[in-house]
């Protein structure tokens, strides 16, 4: 059994055998999507979220185990490692408690207490602390020699030693920590010289702010910390000094000198340490919440409804330089590009667009939602094409990042950034997932304070999110880009490139088994990736489904028992009804896998994403000046935070529906009510032009 199994099981309230199975599979190199989809029997049907939590906690415990090894080694080198101390360290799995245990042994810079010890004052400090002397001044007199010039100096230096001993006392630290946990306040004050600065006004809510730390939400804490990093705010975390020092005094015999040392220990050593600790812990908690919001938004964005393989005209709107127009075929290949000046030469631009739609048999138009988007959309809606054309406004967040990236240069070496950006906008309409995987998720613009949170934790979480989304949809191995294949379970950049290179040299894959011919794609990688790769038109219809090759024999046996072909099980519901899955249970294949197989036979390779819908803004609203409180408007949810949702209502500035305005009922989590890119009806509450804020409501 894994070293961490019981700890993780207890912490996450998950069955021991399931946790151990997940840890074993992860150690064997299995990915989270593979475990969730194809190893349900071993894990007890755990989903991706539970498996990801186990993986994350396992990583944290491994780091803590490394830290314990380092601490044990350093204490042993000092010759101070007793059996009792070793056992305490080995059984400790709380980071701050572990550091408390280690603190007295931790190598330090030359402190005031250390200097006092060098002056020979530790015996005096011990006597004072234990109350072993009646007259401290008389006792101190014996230590007045060398660098110690007076009785006062001797007592003062002894108090420095006592203060350090108190600050390193585990009981003291735990007691003060408990007070901070219950009663600490976070306080934010504006730096006086910045109060009237224009860029400081967005932090005006925090110019004089204080609240219990345990009630401070993620977005407020991150906002204050950002204001602090920009030199606008001064942020502090503290509990009541008197309450803390009274708590410390309970641990020691009362005398004047010890009390003075306690006051000094708290103000000089313990209080700054606790502020640092709680600042770090609260930031970590806020980061986790912000990252959770970001990953939820990213999931919704990646799994947004695709238009599918249609011929698309992409428009990257612009005023001065005109709108960049691109025409793509149904596979997303660039056929043509040019510029149309809708703002300057509307009549000519209209004729251009009508002709392009006709010449390239365009089925849909994708318009980027940036500057001049609304005007471009309104104009294009007035045009009369010779056949039906659907018109969509598409988020262009990150398109400029993509257009200047190495990926874009590799795809379009002969085109400039404006063409590449327009192609990205058009392709996002066709298949958001396939296009967005090429862009750093942080550049997509969904989330809160993504540049303020722990970047390593954010990257890891976002990479996992992209991987889960890609594998939940499945990938056509014959059309997928190298970037999309990178996220397929068991592949990565090197194998993704090898697949694309093999495809170029040998033509489209005709079976999953052919993947084994790809250089360096061995048995383990094949096991991990095969079920997520689709081959439309393959001789074996299961190659275009989520049925894993390891289960093909079971499906073939089902077909044999029904006196039909595998293809018949897919096309004929009556044949599927004859199957009694209990007959096919084995030591390795149980009911959960067999149920998945039947679902897949019913709808092989079905895309789990929704169908796309056309949307139009209110025709009489174009700028914030057109907004009137009480006005009801259609909008699109562009971002979700834990304090509400931002909605595009077509005025070049998103409005905020605060969490309290999302519904008539109490809402704890905005994602309970809204989804990214959802079409909603909102009511205008207030327009604050000075702070560039629009307040909206979705309450009835």
Q: What sign results for the dihedral spanned by CA atoms 490, 491, 492, 495? A: positive
Residues 327, 95: Cα–Cα separation, whole Å:
57
Topology of 624-697 in CATH?
Answer: OB fold (Dihydrolipoamide Acetyltransferase, E2P) (2.40.50)
List Cβ neighbours of 657 (8 Å cut-off, separation of 6 or more): 644, 645, 646, 647, 674, 682, 696, 697, 698
CATH architecture of 484-602: Orthogonal Bundle (1.10)
The pLDDT assigned to 616 comes to: 85
Which segments in the chain show pLDDT lower than 50? none
Print burial letters for 292-319: b (CB count within 10 Å at least 16), e (below 16).
Answer: bbbbbbbbbbbbbebbeebbbbbbbbbe
End-to-end CA distance of the chain: 55
- CATH 3.30.420.140, applies to 312-430: yes
- Per CATH, 112-289 and 484-602 having the same topology is answered no
List Cβ neighbours of 361 (8 Å cut-off, separation of 6 or more): 311
* 8 A C-beta contact, residue 619 and residue 662: no
Give the start-end residues of each E strand in 624-672: 632-641, 644-648, 655-658
Neighbours of 539 (CB within 10 A): 8
Residues 233, 467: Cα–Cα separation, whole Å:
39
* 8 A C-beta contact, residue 437 and residue 299: no
Topology of 5-105 in CATH?
Answer: Arc Repressor Mutant, subunit A (1.10.10)
Topology of 112-289 in CATH?
Answer: Tex N-terminal region-like (1.10.3500)
How many Cα neighbours within 13 Å face the side chain of 55?
A: 22
CA angle 105, 97, 290 (to 5 degrees): 125
- 3-class secondary structure, 518: coil
Domain coordinates of the chain in residue numbers? 5-105, 112-289, 312-430, 484-602, 624-697
The pLDDT assigned to 109 comes to: 86
The pLDDT assigned to 607 comes to: 80
pTM of the model: 0.83
Residues 353, 357: Cα–Cα separation, whole Å:
6
335-362 tens-digit pLDDT: 999 999 999 999 999 999 999 999 999 9
- 3-class secondary structure, 649: coil
Cα→Cα distances 549→47, 331, 556, 645, Å: 21, 28, 11, 43
240-288 tens-digit pLDDT: 999 999 999 998 887 899 999 999 999 999 999 999 999 999 999 999 9
CA angle 183, 187, 193 (to 5 degrees): 165
- 3-class secondary structure, 89: helix
Residues 652, 372: Cα–Cα separation, whole Å:
8
The pLDDT assigned to 451 comes to: 81
Joined together, the tokens standing for residue 668 give 């704890």
């Amino acid at each position: 059994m894994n070293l961490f199994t019981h700890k993780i099981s207890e912490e996450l309230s998950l069955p021991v055998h399931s946790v151990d199975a997940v840890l074993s599979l992860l150690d064997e190199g299995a990915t989270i999507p593979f475990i969730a989809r194809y190893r349900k029997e071993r894990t007890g049907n755990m989903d991706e979220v539970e498996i990801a939590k186990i993986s994350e906690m396992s990583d944290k415990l491994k780091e803590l185990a490394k830290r314990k090894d380092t601490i044990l080694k350093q204490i042993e080198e000092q010759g101070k490692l007793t059996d009792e101390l070793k056992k305490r360290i080995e059984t400790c799995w709380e980071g701050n408690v572990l550091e408390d245990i280690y603190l007295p042994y931790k190598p330090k810079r030359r402190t005031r207490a250390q200097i006092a010890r060098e002056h020979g004052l530790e015996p005096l400090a011990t006597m004072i602390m234990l109350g072993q002397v009646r007259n401290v001044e008389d006792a101190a007199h014996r230590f007045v020699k060398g660098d110690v010039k007076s009785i006062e100096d001797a007592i003062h230096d002894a108090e420095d030693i006592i203060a350090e001993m108190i600050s390193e006392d585990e009981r003291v630290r735990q007691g003060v920590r408990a007070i901070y946990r219950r009663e600490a306040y976070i306080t934010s004050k504006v730096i006086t010289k910045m109060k009237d600065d224009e860029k400081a006004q967005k932090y005006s809510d925090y110019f004089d702010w204080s609240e219990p730390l345990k009630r401070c939400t993620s977005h407020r804490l991150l906002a204050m910390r950002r204001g602090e990093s920009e030199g606008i705010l001064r942020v502090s975390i503290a509990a009541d000094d008197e309450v803390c020092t009274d708590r410390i005094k309970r641990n020691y015999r009362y005398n004047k000198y010890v009390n003075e040392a306690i006051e000094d220990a708290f103000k000089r050593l313990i209080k700054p340490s606790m502020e640092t600790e709680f600042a770090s812990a609260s930031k970590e908690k806020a980061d986790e919440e912000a990252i959770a919001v970001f990953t939820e938004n990213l999931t919704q964005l990646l799994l947004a409804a695709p238009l599918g393989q249609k011929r698309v005209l992409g428009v990257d709107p612009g005023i001065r330089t005109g709108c960049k127009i691109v025409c793509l075929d149904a596979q997303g290949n660039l056929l043509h590009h040019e510029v149309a000046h809708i703002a300057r030469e509307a009549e000519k631009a209209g004729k251009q667009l009508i002709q392009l739609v006709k010449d390239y048999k365009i089925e849909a138009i994708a318009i980027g939602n940036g500057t001049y988007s609304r005007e471009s959309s309104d104009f294009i809606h007035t045009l009369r094409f010779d056949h039906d054309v659907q018109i969509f406004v598409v988020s262009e967040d990150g398109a400029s990042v993509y257009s200047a990236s190495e990926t874009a240069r590799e795809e379009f070496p002969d085109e400039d950034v404006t063409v590449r950006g327009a192609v990205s906008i058009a392709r996002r309409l066709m298949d958001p997932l396939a296009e967005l995987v090429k862009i750093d998720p942080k550049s997509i613009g969904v989330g809160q304070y993504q540049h303020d949170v722990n970047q390593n934790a954010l990257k890891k979480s976002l990479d996992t999110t992209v991987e889960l989304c890609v594998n939940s949809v499945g990938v056509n191995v014959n059309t997928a880009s190298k970037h999309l294949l990178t996220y397929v379970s068991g592949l990565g950049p090197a194998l993704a490139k090898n697949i694309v290179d093999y495809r170029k040299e040998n033509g489209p894959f005709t079976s999953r088994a052919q993947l084994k011919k790809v250089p360096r794609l061995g048995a383990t990688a094949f096991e991990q990736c095969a079920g997520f790769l689709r081959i439309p038109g393959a001789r074996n219809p299961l190659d275009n489904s989520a049925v894993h090759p390891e289960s093909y024999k079971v499906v073939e046996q089902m077909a044999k028992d029904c006196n039909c072909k595998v293809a018949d099980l897919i096309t004929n519901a009556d044949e599927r009804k004859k199957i009694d899955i209990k007959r096919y249970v084995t030591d390795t294949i149980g009911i959960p896998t067999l149920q998945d197989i039947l679902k897949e036979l019913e709808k092989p390779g079905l895309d789990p994403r929704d169908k796309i819908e056309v949307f139009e803004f209110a025709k009489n609203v174009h700028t914030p000046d057109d907004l009137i409180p009480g006005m009801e408007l259609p909008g699109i949810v562009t971002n979700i935070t834990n304090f509400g949702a931002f909605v595009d209502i077509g005025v070049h500035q998103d409005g905020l529906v605060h969490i309290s305005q999302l519904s008539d009922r109490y809402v704890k989590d905005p994602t309970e009510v809204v989804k990214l890119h959802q079409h909603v009806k909102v009511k205008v509450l207030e327009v604050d032009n000075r702070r560039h804020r629009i307040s909206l409501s979705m309450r009835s």
